[in-house]
Amino acid sequence: MMSQNYLYEVKTSTDAAQTAYSILVASRSPEALSALKNALRPMPSSVDINCRLISNGHSDPLYGLEKLPDLLIFRVGETWQAELEALCARPAITRVPTLIISADEDAQAMRLSMQAGARDFFPEPLEDGDLLRVVDQLYREAMDQQGALNAHLTVVMNAKGGSGASLLATNLAHQMAVERLRKVVLVDLDLQFGSLSHYLDLNPQRGIKQALENVDELDSVALGGYLATHVSGLKVLSSESDRLLLNEEVSSDQLLHLFKLLGKDYQHLVVDLPRQIDLVTTTVLEHADQIVLTLQQGITYLRDAARLIEVMRRDLDIPDHRILVVVNRYDKSAPITLDEVAKALHHQPIITLPNDFKHVCESLNTGMPLLQVARRAPISRAIHHLSEQVAGTRPAQQSGLLGKLVNLVKGD
């Protein structure tokens, strides 16, 4: 009697109705399934991950499933040719986005993977973090297609007060608007003592408090009345100086609604997020494409940064590649080196911004962005490179062999 495929659960949402994305990991090797399960643990809890140990005569990993997954991760074995041909034989309408993992880098295996519509091909042993990065990217693409936020969301946050997050958020957004020609909104979520409008010499009459109060009645045109406009074209949604708003007065659902409205007309949201953990900040962090964590070279900064990163990893399921650690006012002669920062935070790489007291003071005192004050200064160039990384204009290296093959064809 033919044995049946064994389908077992790895991680599933506590509320099935909230599951937004499903992944099936399939292989004939229990050891491979276990390793892949561990590699995918950092994915958000709303992602439903199941493993299928193929133990019958069918080579198709999707055979007999009542509901197809959103993503198939298929680790092929010694019978890889039959397994890949089974995927190729599936009608196009029943195929799903697929990642292929193989111990064999045979050109025929890659060719069959491409014919089956695989998004990428990974040879074993897997490089640390490569699979997770691709899976997270595909997951976020799927969420965008479902109308999650539409806009690219970057959060800038201090690891410890005074690290320079507000200055960095302002100038990061400004450079993206000016040099990347992006439609950018800078959002000040310090609802009590926000000061981003002063960094750009703006005096908004309406802001985020009133926008949140009326968000259910707003459309994208009406929302424009709550945005201040800088001469560069950068839009700013800031706190009103004469209004005090407590965090518990803000609904996370209202805030996400507001972000979705902004996402209809703007490509990038840069959020200056206060240094605290509550429902509002965790909601924003969970939806962020990047979290720029700003600190300085000091023991107290490292201690607080380590705690914050641990909260993001453990409690919010945020993978490391979405966290960008920035050492502001970097001094290569300081007692604490970059290697020691990386070791203390268990994080790589570490990005640096140079110490430029003169130009920063001029920027703050005049309300002019650093790009206007000193375009060619090292700090302006450093923020320029960070803006490339955040805006996605610096191409990420393709980790899988199919990605590398495409780059070779393009001549990259």
Structural domain includes residue 395: no
Distance of alpha carbon 223 from alpha carbon 234, whole angstroms:
15
Total structural domains in the chain?
2
* pLDDT by 10-residue block (mean), the chain, 412 residues: 43 42 93 92 82 84 90 93 91 89 86 89 88 89 66 92 94 90 88 82 86 86 90 89 67 87 90 89 90 96 96 88 94 94 93 95 94 94 90 49 49 44
Structural domain includes residue 5: no
Domain that holds residue 223: 152-390
Euclidean distance between the first and final Cα of the chain, in Å?
53
pLDDT value of position 17: 36
**What b/e string do you get for 143-168 counting C-beta neighbours within 10 Å, with b at 16 or more?**
beeeebbbbbbbbbbbbbeebbbbbb
Is 322 found in the same domain as 299? Answer: yes
59 by Cβ neighbours in 10 Å (0-12 / 13-18 / 19+) ranks as buried
The number of CA neighbours under 13 Å toward the Cβ of 363 is 26
pLDDT value of position 395: 41
pLDDT value of position 47: 85
Taking phi over 0 as left and psi of -120 to 50 as alpha, with beta for the rest, 348 belongs to beta
Is 113 found in the same domain as 66? Answer: yes
Is 345 found in the same domain as 250? Answer: yes
The DSSP letter of residue 188 is E
The CATH number linked to 294 is 3.40.50.300
Backbone angles phi, psi at 327, to 5 degrees: -90, 110
Q: Which of 146, 161, 190 delimits the end of a domain?
A: 146
**Nearest C-alpha neighbor of 114 from the set 403, 411, 410:** 403
**Nearest C-alpha neighbor of 236 from the set 267, 270, 193, 274:** 270
CB 353 within 8 A of CB 379: yes
